[in-house]
Structure 1
Amino acid sequence: MAREVLSIFVENQSNVLTRIASLFGRRGFNIDSLTVSTTNDPKISRITVVFDGNDTSLSQIMTQTRKLEPVKDLYLLNKETSLFRELLLLKVSCDKTNRSGIIEIVNIYRGKIISLSKQNMIIELTGAPEKIDGLLEMLSCYHIEEICRTGITGISRKSVDTDDDNE
């Protein structure tokens, strides 16, 4: 099983996300990450789905997803030709004895401290999922109060025409 990232272009209408997620669930796929955003066309949204699958299951889920009426197009995002990013908000307990150590680690990862109090700090980090994982590993020896990750979003470096189905 390999980690796959699908970029699905859908019409903006109610229940589209539910239909996509239900399709994955009915086929026995666990969605690892799911993000939705508008595109440059306000009538179209992009759904990015991350899941584990093999070639057979990937072909099956792509075929079934294409059949859904609000789906305009979908692409498998190739790891070599696509960029993936994620946003992390992290609340870490701190006091005057460990604050500077945490700040040093955050600076190495080019994160931002967006809130600071005597008891904790909130860190913002954007980057590849591996970068997010690296920061979390480095901060694992501190008391992490809360983690909020957006999930992976991605875009192909190649030009993509999303209007092929609009004939």
Structure 2
Amino acid sequence: MAEAFRGEIDTKVDGKARVSIPASFRRVLEADDPDRPEASRPRVYMVYGGKTRNFVECYSKAGADRLAEMIEEMEIGSKARDRAEREMISRSVMIEIEPDGRIVLPPKVRAKLGYGDSESTSGTEVTFVGTSDRFKLYRAEVYYAEDEDDDDDADVDPLALIGRARRAG
């Protein structure tokens, strides 16, 4: 991975369910898709699986390949692998980014974000949330409501949590 997905970026969705991928995220997607055929556009892999998830997890080509490799290392026929394949591979879609940096949100992605069949996306906002090797796409009001409720570790410095995880690993 050349660079990382970083930051929280809000952007509008138009009435045709089109959204612009932030330029910094597009640069990572381009760098992580170097073997695409000439003149083809960079790709983003959008995972809409997971019943308890209220976001769509997005990967570059290299990131999607790493995810598939991790799943392939799991025991064939195990319930865990079957679930991972279903939720992370089968319930995903690959989208090519338009030359202007936009994508059209596919129907299953729109449904995952909470847009009903009759509800227009026009004027709504989504939030791109960088998480280093991938990013999450939330309906903006869902992301910020969840962020307000997230006070589980209010007394713990995030660097202390990282230190604990490193010592445990």
TM surpasses 0.5 = no
Band the TM-score falls in, shorter-chain normalisation? under 0.3
Which one has a larger percent helix, Structure 1 or Structure 2? 2
Which one has a larger percent strand, Structure 1 or Structure 2? 1
Q: Which has the higher contact order (CA 8 A, sep 6+)?
A: 2
Task: State the structure with more CA Rg.
Answer: 1
- TM-score when normalising by structure 2: 0.27
